[in-house]
Amino acid sequence: MTTVMSASASAEETAAAVPAPVTMAAALNAALADSLAADDRVVVFGEDVGTLGGVFRITDGLASRFGERRVFDTPLAEAGIVGTAIGMAMNGLVPVVEMQFDAFAYPAFEQVTSHLAKLRNRTRGRLALPVVIRVPFGGGIGGVEHHSDSSEAYYTHTPGLRVVTPGTPADAYRLLRQAVACPDPVLFFEPKRRYWSRETAVLSVDGPPVDRAVVRRPGKDVTLIAYGGMVATALEAAAAALEEGWDVEVIDLRSLSPFDDQTLTASVRRTGRAVVVHEAAGFAGYGAEVAARLTEQCFHYLEAPILRVTGFDIPYPPPHLEKFHLPSTDRILDAIARLQWEGDNA
């Protein structure tokens, strides 16, 4: 895939480079606004993203600011939304479309995997498809099935797509700006449970490129690997692990495809232990690929098997049961304790 293009900062961003409290929802809104302002080719559309401002209000105010020709509502037809975006990109526009919920994207799956992911290869590079598909994903909001899926593995398995997901408000801004500036199609997974999480940050495109993982907390005993909504949970677990005497390094993957082998292998070779955390079901989940890659590249450095803490292999449960289904701090600490025991008794 082509190297990610850089997203230039707007004058407003430069003038406002003062740390301030911001939610992930507000950061995403700012990223869309700045992308629209920076490039007249960018268009934003999807179900209810115009007048309403989106189910989660991520596009609030954009239609009134940029007009209905650049931010507009569509019929409830996900395959049509993505198919239209492909046609627009083939003709020089930069579409940013929203799937209202994760599982609502499945009707568009054929358009994404058969056409969006393959047209560049099919045309031997003559056609670039700079399409961003925003997908609110994951649970933790008391939603029912079809509203709480973690479908990232379907797309990471498809060559030709970039798949990224932010774990913090600042990264939500940075990654979305970089995704819009990228000539490749990008599946942008937004952890809806973190839309209202807040941090004090400067919203800037400066920082690690879109395809690099980052160390959120350095440590020496265990590498804890997470992405999206699980980054905050992993950091909570790392803080709690200090009481047990475990110094846990937390890595935020950010980019699920392509995968940053360099950052991950450097950490695991140093700590000798690793746990991968994600909300999706464990069987054939994204964590299985992470564990396999790290085992292949770090086998002689490992003190214990790489473990996974995931959602259970069931359809997403009713709201009152999701707290048992989703990875928790306690489940992560149990996995770390098992690593320590197995390493000490190997």
Which residue ranges form the domains of the chain, and what is each CATH number?
Answer: 16-201 (3.40.50.970), 214-344 (3.40.50.920)
pLDDT at 340: 78
pLDDT at 299: 97
Residue 108 sits at φ, ψ, to 5 deg, of -95, 5
- In this predicted structure, the answer to whether residue 15 has a pLDDT above a threshold of 50 is no
Closest CA to 275 of 194, 342, 187: 342
pLDDT at 7: 59
- In this predicted structure, the answer to whether residue 8 has a pLDDT above a threshold of 60 is no
Catalytic site residue 147? yes
DSSP string across 100-156:
SSGGGGGGGHHIIIIIITTHHHHTTTS-----EEEEEE---SS--TTSS---HHHHH
Q: Return the half-sphere exposure (C-beta side, CA atoms, 13 A cut-off) of residue 73.
A: 12
pLDDT at 1: 39
The structure's pTM equals: 0.93
- In this predicted structure, the answer to whether residue 343 has a pLDDT above a threshold of 80 is no
153-172: average pLDDT: 97
Compute CA 105 distance to the chain's CA centroid, rounded to the nearest angstrom. Answer: 15
Query: Which residues make beta-bridge pairs with 223?
Result: 249, 274
Pairwise CA distance, residues 232 & 224, whole Å: 12
106-120: average pLDDT: 96
Of 115, 147, 157, 325, which is the active-site residue?
147
- Asked if residues 48 and 81 have their Cβ atoms less than 8 Å apart, the reply is no
212-237: average pLDDT: 98
The H-or-E segment that residue 249 falls in is: strand 248-252
